Chains A and B, each alone.
Chain A
Amino acid sequence: NAGVMQNPRHLVRRRGQEARLRCSPMKGHSHVYWYRQLPEEGLKFMVYLQKENIIDESGMPKERFSAEFPKEGPSILRIQQVVRGDSAAYFCASSPPSGPQETQYFGPGTRLLVL
C-alpha cells in the first residue's frame, strides 16, 4: 500500500517563476492537507481540501498561493511569481474519508528553493 506521494522532491525556481507541487494521497484517502516548513520552524498548516472542495485555506498566504484537489488526479499546490521567502519544505498529508479526526499520514515533502 503506497504511502502519500509527492513530486517533485526537489524544485528549483528563479524569482518570478511558477512552482507546482503535486500530492497523491494514500489509496482510499479523500482528505488532503498542505503544510509548509520554513527553516528552523515547525510545520505550519496551509490548506485542507477534499475532492473538488477547499474546506479551509486559513493558513494560505492571500496572494500567489492556490490549491486544488480535482476529482481525478493529484492535489496541486501552486505558487505564482515565487519569491525567495517561498523557499521551504512543503508537506502534504492525507487522512481517510471517515473524517479529519483520523491520523494524518505525511508524504516525503517537496523542497522548494527560489534563487
Chain B
Amino acid sequence: AQSVSQHNHHVILSEAASLELGCNYSYGGTVNLFWYVQYPGQHLQLLLKYFSGDPLVKGIKGFEAEFIKSKFSFNLRKPSVQWSDTAEYFCAVNRNSGYALNFGKGTSLLVTP
C-alpha cells in the first residue's frame, strides 16, 4: 500500500540547533514530493516541493530538503532553527501522473528560546 512515514512525531529543539525531519514514502514510479508547514492557528503553507531536477531543493525561511530516490526519502533540514519555526510539519507525496496528495501524520516541532 502507498504510504508516507514521518518518523518523529514530536521534536523539541533549542534555538540555533540544527533540524532534520525524516520522511519516507512507499510508492512505485515517479513521484512529486512536498513539505507543508502549519503554524499555530494558521493554515497549511507550502515550504518546498520537488518535481524533477536537482534533488536538493531550497524552500522558504531557510529550509531545504533532499530527495534520495534509492532511499525513498525526502528529509527536511534547517541548519539553525528559530523560535518562530515552532509548527506542525507535514510531508506529502503524489504520483507524477496524479493529484491526490498522500500526507504523513506530521511532526510537531517545538523550538525553545
Binding site for B on A (CB under 8 A): 3-4, 31, 33, 35, 40-45, 48, 56, 58-59, 91, 93, 95, 100-101, 103-109
Contact = CB atoms under 8 A, between A and B. Distances in A.
Contact of B104 (A31, A42, A108): A42
B63 interface: no
Minimum-distance CB pairs A-B, first 5: A100-B99, A42-B103, A106-B44, A108-B43, A45-B100
- Give the residue among B51, B101, B102 with the most A Cβ atoms within 10 A: B101
Contacts of B32: 101
Contacts of B44: 91, 106
Nearest to B6: A42
27 contacts: A31-B99, A33-B99, A33-B100, A33-B101, A35-B103, A40-B105, A41-B105, A42-B103, A43-B92, A43-B101, A45-B100, A45-B101, A48-B99, A48-B100, A56-B99, A59-B100, A91-B44, A95-B99, A100-B98, A101-B99, A103-B46, A104-B99, A104-B101, A105-B46, A106-B43, A106-B45, A107-B43
Contacts of B103: 35, 42-44
Task: Determine chain B's interface SS by DSSP, over half rule.
Answer: loop
B67 interface: no
Contacts of B4: 42
Contacts of B74: none
Nearest to A45: B100
Nearest to A44: B103
B96 A56 contact: no
Interface of B: 4, 6, 32, 34, 36, 42-46, 49, 51, 90, 92, 96, 98-106
Contacts of A104: 99, 101
A108 B51 CA distance: 25
Nearest to A56: B100
Nearest to B49: A103
Contacts of B92: 43
Contacts of B106: 42
Residue of A35, A48, A59, A101 most packed against chain B (CB within 10 A): A101
